[in-house]
Amino acid sequence: MRRMNDFERKLYHTVVHNSLLFLEDGLKRLITDGNNDLGDTIVLSCTSIQISLELAMRAYILRNKGLEFIIVKKQKDNNTDEEIEKLYAENRLKVIEFEALKNQLKEKDASVFTKEDFQIIDDFQTYRNKLVHFCCPLDNNELSKLKENLMYYVVRVVLCLLYDNYEEKKPAEYFEELLGWDFYRTLINDKGYIRAIQQLAKEQAKDVGLCPICGRIAYSIEDEFCYFCNVQPLEDEWGRTECIACGRKNSVIYDKMNIHLKGNHHSMPGLCQHCESHPQIFECPICGQTYWQFSDKEDWMCYDGHCTTQGVDYKD
Ligand SMILES: [Zn+2]
Ligand SMILES: [Zn+2]
Ligand SMILES: [Zn+2]
């Protein structure tokens, strides 16, 4: 990864800070301005989010490509690094416009986004222009839809741009830290937010299933953590076995820590993270094999008190 110099880093932190400031303003209006006219709320919200996006793009390019890629060519060509710092201090540094930033992100080597993401950005642009510049009234249906899409847009586009993985943080951890716990807590119940995180999980994880903790389809079975609530079971906390109902390998989880406690008869309720079946899982304390109880049991299976694999009886 590219390393920023001191001046770039200073600038970067300011840009990220301001991007978040506008982002928070835009989102807070969407979430809390229930008493105001929805159209007015969205006009103000769109404006803040647009500024936030521009700053996030700038931050992203600054971080990944360098300062020279975000200032106008004339200043870049005619000034030394020291002179550029001086221009900044005097408030005379000129940065490039939104469309030029967007085009840089469209370049192959730079892109964090897919074609669909750029479509989302363009759609937002169209709506925003309609609302802010031409004052075209949207009907209530369009407004409600836009409200939900805005949230999705913010998480999907703006927060992904701001995501610098200097420290290896899980997405939920990162969003919470960036937005602050109080605000984050309000956000996680929003439909658009939920959709955006589930989409993120679907794209980034190979095998996504239901999270038994938060109930979202955002759990990475391969990496054992949830994109939404960030639950990360300890090693051997959850046992895994195949699902007879849907045929997936390793998709049924059960409480491995407590399965052999006295009184449990080596059996615990399980949950398939794909088809949501709820089998009762038996884990043999001798050979470690697991079985679905109360399914069509075959003779060779181990059961409570007897391990068929090793041919021994045991007590408790
Ligand atoms: Zn979860
Ligand atoms: Zn299943
Ligand atoms: Zn056994």
**CA 297 – ligand 3 centroid, Å:** 14
Are 53 and 18 in contact, with CB atoms under 8 Å apart? no
Residue given tokens 């959850």 in the structure block = 238
pLDDT at 312: 95
Domain ranges of the chain: 6-168, 233-316
Judged by DSSP in three states, 170 sits in: coil
Q: What is the mean pLDDT of residues 299-307?
A: 84
pLDDT at 134: 75
**CA 309 – ligand 3 centroid, Å:** 5
| CA-based R_g, the chain, Å | 26
Q: Distance between CA atoms of 163 and 169, rounded to whole angstroms?
A: 9
**CA 292 – ligand 2 centroid, Å:** 12
Judged by DSSP in three states, 219 sits in: strand
Q: What is the mean pLDDT of residues 123-145?
A: 80
148: Cβ contacts below 8 Å, ≥ 6 apart: 191, 192, 195
Judged by DSSP in three states, 30 sits in: helix
**Number of Cβ within a 10 Å radius of residue 187:** 23
Closest CA to 1 of 66, 71, 85, 67: 66
Q: Distance between CA atoms of 223 and 135, rounded to whole angstroms?
A: 47
Summarize pLDDT for 220-270 with one digit per residue, the tens.
999 999 999 999 999 889 999 999 999 999 999 999 999 999 999 999 999
Question: Mean pLDDT for the chain?
Answer: 88
Which one-letter DSSP state was computed for residue 191? H
Summarize pLDDT for 74-115 with one digit per residue, the tens.
998 999 989 999 999 999 999 999 999 988 888 866 667 778
Q: What is the mean pLDDT of residues 21-39?
A: 81
Are 242 and 252 in contact, with CB atoms under 8 Å apart? yes
Q: How confident is the model at residue 161 (pLDDT cuts 50, 70, 90)?
A: confident
- pTM of the model as a whole: 0.76
Report which bound ligand comes closest to the CA of 282: 3
**CA 52 – ligand 3 centroid, Å:** 59
**CA 63 – ligand 3 centroid, Å:** 56
Residue ranges with CB less than 5 Å from ion ligand 3: 284, 286-287, 302, 307, 309
Tokens describing residue 163 = 């995501």
**CA 249 – ligand 2 centroid, Å:** 9
pLDDT at 148: 78
